[in-house]
Amino acid sequence: MSDLHARERHDSEWGRPVADLIEDDEVVGMAYEDEGQLLVEFYPDADGESRLYDVADLQRVLDTIGAMLGIEPDSAGIGAAAATEEAEHPVDVLAAEFDQRAARRGPEDEGFYPQDAAAGIVQRCGELGLAVVAMQGFSLHRDGEDAVAGCSADLGAVYRGEPWAAFAAGCNLQAMSLLERWPRRPNFAVTLEAQDAAGEVFVL
């Protein structure tokens, strides 16, 4: 995953918010809303060449920008899967896709997910309009699980008070960033909690 991320600012010339796309401390593009659509302009690199990005990585940033600028996911062309699953609660969608990827289940039916599955859950939460509000890292062994020091995050507390779109985007972006820094070993697993727009929290 690249360092590509977004930073919102107020453009004095346009008189409205826009989002700069930043990679390695360099502004590489700009995103803005136009008639309800999310438009993105990428600048050439120093050699005048086009920039290349992984689609999944770019989608992650576009989801965040859409939330920053208050653009509905279907209007922004992001999170399109959520629209087709409107009749089903997003947590049920997550369960159908990820339950079997849990390494084990705890006494409260919480899933202990390998890191790749946990990252997939965070990304899917962004697409489904959910916010990952808490994560905990564990070392799994035959007789149980041990919490890993320094691998616990109450993301909901960090972004509490923000408008829902900014709250969800901030939680999910920080969750993905933490997962990249947490241990990568076969017996390491993560538990997650997600919150929906109505404020209900679910143990995944």
pLDDT digits (tens, 9 = 90+) for 14-38: 788 888 888 888 888 888 887 778 8
By the 8 A CB rule, do 175 and 122 touch?
A: yes
Mean residue pLDDT of the chain comes to 84
Domain at 80-203, CATH class = alpha beta
Angle at 173 between CA 107 and CA 24, to 5 degrees: 140
Separation between Cα atoms, residue 172 and residue 184, nearest integer Å: 20
pLDDT at 86: 46
| Domain limits, the chain | 5-55, 80-203
Please determine, for residue 8, whether its predicted confidence score (pLDDT) is greater than 80: yes
What share of the chain has pLDDT > 70, as a percent? 90
pLDDT at 73: 55
Region at 154 (left for phi over 0; alpha for psi -120 to 50; beta for the rest)? beta
Convert the pLDDT of each residue in 53-76 to its tens digit.
777 777 778 888 888 777 765 544
Please determine, for residue 84, whether its predicted confidence score (pLDDT) is greater than 70: no
For residues 90-111, give the mean pLDDT.
89
Q: Return the top range by mean pLDDT from 15-19, 124-128, 190-194.
A: 190-194
pLDDT band at 83 (very low <50, low <70, confident <90, very high): very low
- Bridge partners of 39? 32
Report the residue count for the chain. Answer: 204
pLDDT at 36: 75
Convert the pLDDT of each residue in 86-96 to its tens digit.
457 888 888 88
- Weakest mean pLDDT among 43-47, 115-119, 174-178: 43-47
Q: Between helices 90-98 and 115-128, what is the axis angle to 10°?
A: 150
SS3 content of the chain, % helix, strand, coil (to 5): 35, 35, 30
Please determine, for residue 79, whether its predicted confidence score (pLDDT) is greater than 60: no
Q: Between helices 164-181 and 115-128, what is the axis angle to 10°?
A: 170
For residues 129-143, give the mean pLDDT.
93
pLDDT band at 82 (very low <50, low <70, confident <90, very high): very low
